[in-house]
């Protein structure tokens, strides 16, 4: 196992080596911790590398500065400093122990005890450490064993871990979806169900972030089903659609079958009824970004997709919106027909401007806008003909409008 870590590209990266040399290995003072160790053992790619140290934050920053490495006190009250080395960020946190917790945040004291630091982490698979020089692994709570079995297990008493930070409930189901391969840990499930009420104390942004991370994993179905069964959604998403446990697998199947990219708006909407008022209310409660709110609204408003209107939907709201809406709200046959209509079809640009209308004799003013609107809808209804055909249609519409104006 040591070789797996030591020989990893991320472990040998120049930026990390510079930090390790700057902070020194004296007094067993520096280790890699958490996801980088866990993911390397699973053969997964590593993007973020976190370190833990016995050194106090000011000493960390001082040593980095003397080595010419930029440091930022990103969470210094909790012992975290971010080092910027060779163009990459590395979080370095002083060993800690919890002094007090309220379910949302913790008051910590610095420590020099590695096992004490490990004990305050959430899951056994996240409490794996590796020596920053040799790659030797330190595992205080059988995290490697759980990792090999595909088991996600809280460290120590599950209820106590959750009471320290209720967000760990959502993190449990996310990690279960990502790393779980066996049955769910029953103690963990019971503790999550019992503590779910505490989710109301969390910021909506933290909940939304965990929810989006979970729902966009390759296969979150099992976790979502367990969350529904144990009423985990109730405190923050009482509008949950009962059909979610059927719609989510359907979306995943269609993504795989048709090689579609994962769509966050579509994945989220599997959890909600097709009701614009409800979707807007949930978006506001979870404080979703304006862009995501608009994407959700576009997918639940307007007519249901059909073979005949799918291109108009793509034209007005974008191809991704059209595909998502069809994937969410049509049967397999209609969905296949909709996709076929969009395959190798680029959304065209309506090429007629107000000046073109005026040049044909329509006086500037409201009649120009009316003419453009009629022409655009005719163009859409005729399945977006070429510009020459469009000009012919424009001439016909202008003649009819001017004739009607004269008679009036």
Read off the pLDDT of residues 312-366 as tens digits, 9 standing for 90 and up. Answer: 999 999 999 999 999 999 999 999 999 999 999 999 988 888 888 888 777 888 8
- The DSSP code for 165 is B
Please state the rounded mean pLDDT for residues 123-131.
96
Q: What whole-number distance in Å separates Cα of residue 144 and Cα of residue 1?
A: 10
> In this predicted structure, what is the pLDDT of residue 394?
76
Please state the rounded mean pLDDT for residues 374-388.
85
> In this predicted structure, what is the pLDDT of residue 406?
60
**Any long-range contacts for 113-116 (C-beta under 8 Å, 24+ apart)?**
114/28, 114/31, 114/52, 114/138, 114/140, 115/140
- Is a pLDDT exceeding 90 seen at residue 46? yes
Alpha helix stretches (DSSP H) within 76-156: 114-119, 143-149
- Is a pLDDT exceeding 80 seen at residue 105? no
Q: What whole-number distance in Å separates Cα of residue 97 and Cα of residue 77?
A: 13
Q: Choose the weakest-confidence range: 28-32, 56-60, 359-363.
A: 359-363
Q: What whole-number distance in Å separates Cα of residue 11 and Cα of residue 399?
A: 74
Which residues fall within 8 angstroms of residue 351, CB to CB, at 6 or more apart?
A: 387, 390
> In this predicted structure, what is the pLDDT of residue 107?
66
CB-based contact 120:79 (threshold 8 Å): no
pTM score: 0.88
> In this predicted structure, what is the pLDDT of residue 98?
73
Which residues fall within 8 angstroms of residue 36, CB to CB, at 6 or more apart?
A: 10, 46, 48, 49, 50, 130
Q: What whole-number distance in Å separates Cα of residue 132 and Cα of residue 216?
A: 32
Q: What whole-number distance in Å separates Cα of residue 299 and Cα of residue 389?
A: 31
């Amino acid at each position: 196992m040591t070789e797996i870590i030591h020989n990893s590209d991320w472990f040998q990266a120049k930026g990390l080596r510079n930090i390790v040399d700057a902070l020194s290995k004296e007094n067993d003072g520096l280790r890699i911790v958490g996801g980088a160790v866990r993911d390397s053992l699973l053969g997964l790619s590593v993007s973020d590398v976190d370190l833990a140290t016995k050194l106090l934050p000011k000493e960390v920053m001082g040593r980095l500065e003397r080595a010419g490495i930029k440091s930022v006190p990103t969470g210094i009250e909790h012992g975290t400093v971010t080092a910027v080395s060779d163009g990459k960020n590395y979080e370095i946190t002083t060993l800690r122990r919890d002094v007090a917790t309220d379910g949302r945040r913790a008051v910590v004291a610095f420590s020099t005890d590695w096992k004490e630091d490990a004990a305050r982490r959430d899951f056994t698979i996240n409490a794996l450490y590796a020596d920053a020089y040799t790659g030797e692994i330190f595992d205080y709570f059988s995290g490697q064993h759980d990792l090999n079995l595909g088991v996600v297990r809280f460290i120590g008493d599950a209820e106590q871990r959750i009471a320290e930070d209720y967000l760990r409930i959502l993190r449990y189901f996310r990690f279960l979806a990502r790393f779980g391969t066996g049955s769910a840990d029953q103690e963990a499930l019971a503790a999550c169900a019992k503590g779910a009420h505490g989710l109301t104390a969390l910021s909506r942004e933290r909940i939304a972030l965990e929810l989006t991370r979970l729902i966009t994993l390759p296969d979150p179905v099992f976790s979502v089903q367990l969350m529904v069964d144990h009423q985990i959604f109730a405190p923050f998403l009482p509008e949950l659609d009962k059909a979610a446990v059927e719609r989510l697998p359907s979306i995943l199947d269609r993504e795989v079958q048709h090689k579609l990219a994962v769509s966050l708006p579509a994945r989220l909407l599997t959890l909600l009824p097709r009701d614009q008022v409800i979707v807007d209310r949930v978006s506001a409660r979870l404080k979703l970004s304006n862009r995501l709110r608009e994407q959700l609204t576009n997918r639940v408003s307007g007519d249901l997709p059909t073979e005949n209107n799918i291109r108009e939907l793509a034209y007005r709201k974008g191809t991704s919106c059209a595909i998502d809406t069809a994937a969410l709200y049509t049967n397999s046959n209609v969905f296949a027909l909709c996709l076929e209509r969009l395959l190798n079809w680029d959304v065209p640009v309506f090429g007629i401007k107000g000046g073109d209308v005026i040049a044909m004799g329509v006086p500037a003013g409201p009649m120009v806008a009316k003419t453009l609107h009629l022409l655009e809808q005719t163009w859409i209804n005729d399945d977006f003909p070429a510009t020459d055909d469009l000009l012919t249609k424009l001439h016909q519409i202008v003649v009819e409008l001017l004739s009607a104006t004269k008679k009036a």
